[in-house]
Structure formats: C-alpha cells, structure tokens
Structure 1
Amino acid sequence: MNISILFRHLGIWESEVRYERYKSDVIVVGENISFVNLISTIAAELNIDELRKQLRSDTL
C-alpha cells in the first residue's frame, strides 16, 4: 500500500492559523518506509542539502 503525503512550503504565515501563498507538493511513499528514508525523500523534494543542513545544525 502507498501513502500520499501533502505538504505546503514557501508560503507566508499571515497569522497563527493562516498560511498563504504557499506551494503544495505531494510525495507518495510505501507504508514500510523508514523514518530516515522519509526525511531524505522530503529533503530531496524540497531541494534541501541534508549534509549541509546537518553540518550547520552541529555548529549551533
């Protein structure tokens, strides 16, 4: 079985409950996907360099 995940990004929070002018994307993953692979799939969809992000967070 596959699972569709909808996420919104690149928008602006107009208030605590209103997120506007966003881009919607959907990814489809298998029900047995690992957490690590899910994070990698989302990062790839959003063009996030996981290694760079990890290195940056390690320096904080």
Structure 2
Amino acid sequence: MNISILLRHSGVWESEIRYEKYGSDGIVVGENISFMNLVSAIAAELNIDELRNKN
C-alpha cells in the first residue's frame, strides 16, 4: 500500500490554526518506509540540504 503525504511549505502562520501563502507539494511512500528515509524523501522534495540543517 502507498501513502500520499501533502507537504505545505514557505508559508506564514497567521494564527495557531491558519497557515497562508504556502506552496504545496506531495510525495507518495510505501507503508514500510523508515523514518530516516521519510525525512530524506521530504527533504529531497523540498530541496532541503539535510546535512546543512542537522542539529
């Protein structure tokens, strides 16, 4: 089974429940994806350098 994940990014929180002016992207992953592979898939979709952003 595949799982679709909607990603919202580059927006602004207008209130605790309202997020505006965002971009939308999505990914589809298998149900057995590991957490680290999920993080990598999201980072790749959003063009985030994982090595630069690890704390």
| TM bracket, shorter-chain basis | over 0.9
Could you say what secondary structure the match of 2:53 adopts? Answer: helix
Identical columns (%): 76
Distance in 1, Cα, partners of 2:30 & 2:14: 34
Report 1:1-60 matches (<5 A).
1-54=1-54, 57=55
- Quick check: which has more Rg, 1 or 2? 1
Higher percent of residues as strand: 2
Point out where structure 1 has 5 or more consecutive residues left out of the alignment: none
Q: CA deviation at 1:18?
A: 0.7
Give TM-score scaled by structure 2 length.
Answer: 0.92
Distance in 2, Cα, partners of 1:51 & 1:7: 20
Runs in 1 of length 4+ with deviation above 3 angstroms?
none
Could you say what secondary structure the match of 1:52 adopts? Answer: coil
Q: CA deviation at 1:52?
A: 1.1
Higher percent of residues as helix: 1
Counterpart of 2:32 in structure 1: which amino acid? Answer: N
